[in-house]
Amino acid sequence: MTPTIIFDKDRSVKACVADAWRLFARTWKRYLRAVWLYLILAGSTQALLLELFIRYIANHALPALRLSQSGGDPRIVRYILMPDGLTLLYFCLSAILCIFATYACYGRISSLIQTYKSWNVMPRLVRPALSKTESNCGLRLLGIDALAAFITLLLLAGVWLLAVKVTPWLALLIPLFTLYIWTTANVARIQFAVNGQKLKASLRYALRHSLGTPLVVQILTLIPAGLLTTILSLPILTYMLGSWAAADSLLRGDVTTIPPVLPLLFFIVNTLCFTVIQAICSWRTWALSMKCRSL
């Protein structure tokens, strides 16, 4: 009989990564049964947002760029660059839907981690609808990420201004600050959403421990996850660059257009790619959760 993987115990960095992988390998059917709906919702809304972004570049940004390069009227360039109200509304609604679907997925994953932490068993049956606890987890994670994004933008703006006024070498601090902020944010997310700590306690914990073994866990899991994400991003990048190249050729007088079925086909492919990327990122969350509990 296969031994149970105990969640709440002391582990080395290597054991956290290995146990998270073994947990996925043993319970992948139950895990996907619990999260498949929200993984697909998150992937499809991300693919929809990407499609709207690609169309904005092709229909507005590229024509405005070509007109500007040919010496066109700046007022016309600005007019072309600005999307119409309906397009802007679609984009805003898609972005809101994407945020809610993504963090609903995060909330479901956090709830599964909490359940496994309590019982050391992956639940057999999970209701499709989000519970109140899962919704609260998603909102907690959204709050942490919004705070981290705000701090990141604030610090990067300050470092960039110093680099411009003092020395360009200060720009080397930008990736270091970004790494530290998001490493701290990931630890705080676990404490705040998964372990149910208060925000101040979660931030204090993250500031004390984010540069220790949790950083090593995140780097080690980032290597395979980053490689797989890069591979899965290739169809997405191919579609983006192909769509922009077709739009640019049309502006230069080439009447050849993309077949109408191709955007639909790539929307399905992009949805699948984003869905798998979300699943891979959830493995990193499990590994980090195991380490944060053992500190």
- pLDDT-derived band of residue 255, with 50, 70 and 90 as boundaries? low
Q: Is 171 helix (H, G, I), strand (E, B) or coil?
A: helix
Which helix (H) or strand (E) element contains residue 100?
helix 85-119
CA-based torsion, 88, 93, 94, 100: positive or negative = positive
Look at residue 87 in the predicted model and tell me its pLDDT. Answer: 87
Question: What's the predicted TM-score (pTM) here?
Answer: 0.89
Look at residue 266 in the predicted model and tell me its pLDDT. Answer: 92
pLDDT tens, position by position, 45-99: 999 999 999 999 988 999 898 888 888 888 888 888 898 888 899 999 999 999 9
Domain ranges of the chain: 15-294
Q: Alpha-carbon distance 274 to 39, whole Å? A: 8
Look at residue 39 in the predicted model and tell me its pLDDT. Answer: 96
Of the candidates 201, 23, 217, 38, the one whose C-alpha atom is nearest the C-alpha of residue 120 is 23
Which helix (H) or strand (E) element contains residue 63?
helix 62-69
Q: Alpha-carbon distance 278 to 103, whole Å? A: 11
- pLDDT-derived band of residue 31, with 50, 70 and 90 as boundaries? very high
Give the percent of the chain with pLDDT over 70: 97
Give the pair of three-digit tokens for residue 185: 């944010």
Contact 44, 159 (CB under 8 A): no
CA 156-157-160 angle, to 5 degrees, is 80
Q: What is the DSSP letter of 172?
A: G
pLDDT tens, position by position, 177-233: 888 888 899 999 998 888 888 888 888 888 888 888 888 999 899 999 999 999 999
pLDDT tens, position by position, 264-290: 999 999 999 999 999 999 999 999 998
pLDDT tens, position by position, 93-128: 999 999 999 999 999 999 999 888 888 888 887 888
